[in-house]
Chain A
Amino acid sequence: MKNRLRVLRAEQNWSQAELAMRVGVTRQAINAIETGRYDPGLPLAMKIARIFEQKVDDIFELEDTD
């Protein structure tokens, strides 16, 4: 699964730590999502989408290999 989290975060000029605080997870979690090593569960994906005022589908996208 790929995502646009890094781009969206940069647009808001937020650090990973700041986004992590807003979403209620650790900075390591945000880093792992951004690097594609970890796909968040539905509640976390929805929280992230809500923070950026976007739909989950607009942030996270399934790849052919998923």
Chain B
Amino acid sequence: MRQDEKRDPGLRILGFIFGAVALWGTTYVAASRMINHSSASAKFRAAGVVIGVLGFLFWQLATAKLILLQDEFTRRIHLIALAIAFAATWLFIFTTDLLQRAGFIHFVQLRTIWLVMLATWGLAILGGEWYYRR
């Protein structure tokens, strides 16, 4: 038996999650620095965008792979959580659009939107687990 097969699968998954998040975080910080560099050329900033997108894409694919590795019950929780995150983000965008056009708020950063989606997704996973556990 190979050494990596002896390891706890839970630990392997945890390592995979940390690895994907660390890569996303690292590429995000690097991309932010590159695109915010005032004297940087367009090529340099474009490279920053590509690095940021690739890091995020890898994290998305890793997360999707992880979800698909789970049993049908856990996948159900993730499906519900993703649906909730999608609906909540849509509601957030719709509401802020109206508030902006009505002149109540000035400007909403795109970053805020994906952070809302991420937070809603996380909360929905916890909520789903709580619902089935209680």
Query: What residues of B have a CB within 8 angstroms of the CB of A26 in the complex?
Result: 70-71, 73-74
Query: What residues of B have a CB within 8 angstroms of the CB of A31 in the complex?
Result: 132-133
Interface residues of B in 56-76 (CB under 8 A from A): 70-74, 76
Query: What residues of B have a CB within 8 angstroms of the CB of A38 in the complex?
Result: 73, 76, 132
Interface residues of A in 13-48 (CB under 8 A from B): 24-26, 28-29, 31-33, 37-38, 40-41, 43-44
Tell whether, in the assembled complex, residue B131 and residue A37 are in contact, meaning their CB atoms are under 8 Å apart.
yes
Q: In the complex, which of the residues B70, B71, B131 has the most CB atoms of chain A within 10 Å of its own CB atom?
A: B71
Q: Tell me if B129 is interfacial: C-beta within 8 Å of chain A.
A: yes
Q: Across the two chains, which residue of chain B brings its CB closest to A33? A: B73
Tell whether, in the assembled complex, residue B133 and residue A28 are in contact, meaning their CB atoms are under 8 Å apart.
yes
| Total A-B pairs, Cβ < 8 A | 35
Chain B interface residue count, CB cutoff 8 Å, equals 10
Query: What residues of A have a CB within 8 angstroms of the CB of B73 in the complex?
Result: 25-26, 28-29, 32-33, 38, 40, 44
Q: Across the two chains, which residue of chain B brings its CB closest to A23? A: B71
Q: Which of A32, A40, A43, A44 contacts B132 (CB 8 A)?
A: A32
A23 to B131, CA, bound (A): 22
A32 to B71, CA, bound (A): 13
Query: What residues of A have a CB within 8 angstroms of the CB of B72 in the complex?
Result: 25, 29, 40-41, 43-44
Tell whether, in the assembled complex, residue B71 and residue A29 are in contact, meaning their CB atoms are under 8 Å apart.
yes
- The smallest C-beta distance from A37 to any residue of chain B, in angstroms, reads 5
A24 to B133, CA, bound (A): 18
Q: Across the two chains, which residue of chain A brings its CB closest to B73? A: A29
A40 to B74, CA, bound (A): 11
Query: What residues of A have a CB within 8 angstroms of the CB of B71 in the complex?
Result: 24-26, 29, 44
Residues of chain B touching chain A, judged by Cβ–Cβ distance below 8 Å, are 70-74, 76, 129, 131-133
Known pairs A31-B132, A38-B73, A40-B72 / 14 extra A-B pairs, C-beta < 8 Å: A24-B71, A25-B73, A26-B70, A26-B73, A28-B129, A28-B132, A28-B133, A29-B71, A29-B73, A32-B132, A37-B131, A37-B132, A38-B76, A44-B71
